[in-house]
Amino acid sequence: MKYATRYILFLTLLVLLPFLAFVHLSIGQVDFSIEEFFSSFLMSGENQMKDIVLQKIRIPRMLMALLSGASLSLAGLLMQTLFRNPLAGPYVLGINSGASLFVALSIMTGIPFFTTDLSLVSGALIGAFLFGMLVLFFAKIVKNQISLLLIGLMLGSFTSAIVAFIQSVSPSEDLKIFTLWGLGSLQKVNIEQIPYIFMFIWIGITSALLIIKSLNAIVLGEQHAKLLGINVSNTRFIIILITAVLTGITTAFCGPISFVGLAVPNLTRILFKTQQHKILIPGTLLIGGIFILFCDIIIKLLENHFIIPINVLTSLIGAPMVIWLVLKRLK
């Protein structure tokens, strides 16, 4: 019975995803007929302009929506499992802030090491990892989960303050670049960068799948995991590393996108009603991709009237969802 519902859920998601991807691709200023769409898709269209619109603009944006949604959601799931707290996530725990801080350094300080495209990525990765380790360090000292969340929020505030300071002393061109980055966008990625981003995210996903056994034990808490023979400190370190890669890479290319990592894993757990990571990981990846794809479809539909940054929309949807989750747990 319960397995049947699982299959139906997966099947629904697997149908919904390509459907939304197709809808996402078909929205925009330029209209495509069905034939034009498929011929452009296969790069054999007669209309070169339409080929370029689809291949260079729409497909990268669609793929980036999927990749960012999937990776941020998986990062959130891993954080929630590690800290045994459904309100944990890369954003709440300040891991995003670490990435943001280093990106701010890279865009605005003009320190030579930080000024190339590659260094923006490595900066975000390093920042995410450093802050991940910092949170881990605090987690070892404070056993109380609420305190840990508060520390994460304070880390976030503290880094925002530093970033604000850097902003106040930066020239206006740099400031503009950083502000736009901070609003989040799926459009800055070009098709050549996608394979590299995909590779990083793939490494993150594969590593997560390789520690399924430890993840399943760690949801019961550190003591139980140890009693079952799991090397908890190794697992923790690996989780932080994977989270840093997933959060860092998406943050570097799309800017900070909040609440996805917090809301999607919770939604997945509520839908599938399980703590088995062999179900939760694919579930989170699919729902995460669908979630951002859906948000970006709304953005594209409204684009003629006003432009909503992706980070604004995910917060608008995500924040009420989290409040709902908190209320639900209080019952």
Residues binding another protein (CB under 8 A): 2, 84, 210, 212-213, 216-217, 219-221, 223-224, 226-231, 269, 273-276, 278
Min dist. Cβ of residue 271 to another protein (A): 11
Q: Which is nearer to another protein, 43 or 327 (CB)?
A: 327
Min dist. Cβ of residue 239 to another protein (A): 17
Best CA proximity match to 184, nearest among 89, 104, 123, 257: 257
Q: Which is nearer to another protein, 216 or 315 (CB)?
A: 216
Alpha-carbon distance of 197 to 290, in angstroms, equals: 18
Q: Which is nearer to another protein, 56 or 224 (CB)?
A: 224
Min dist. Cβ of residue 83 to another protein (A): 12
Min dist. Cβ of residue 190 to another protein (A): 37
Q: Which is nearer to another protein, 80 or 251 (CB)?
A: 80
- The sign of the dihedral angle between the CA atoms of 131, 137, 142, 145 is positive
Q: Which is nearer to another protein, 56 or 278 (CB)?
A: 278
Q: Which two three-digit tokens encode residue 82?
A: 């590690």
Min dist. Cβ of residue 240 to another protein (A): 20
Non-local CB neighbours of 75 within 8 Å, separated by 6+ positions: 89, 90, 95, 204, 242, 243, 246, 247, 261
Q: Which two three-digit tokens encode residue 3?
A: 């397995």
Alpha-carbon distance of 125 to 196, in angstroms, equals: 14
Contact 94, 159 (CB under 8 A): yes
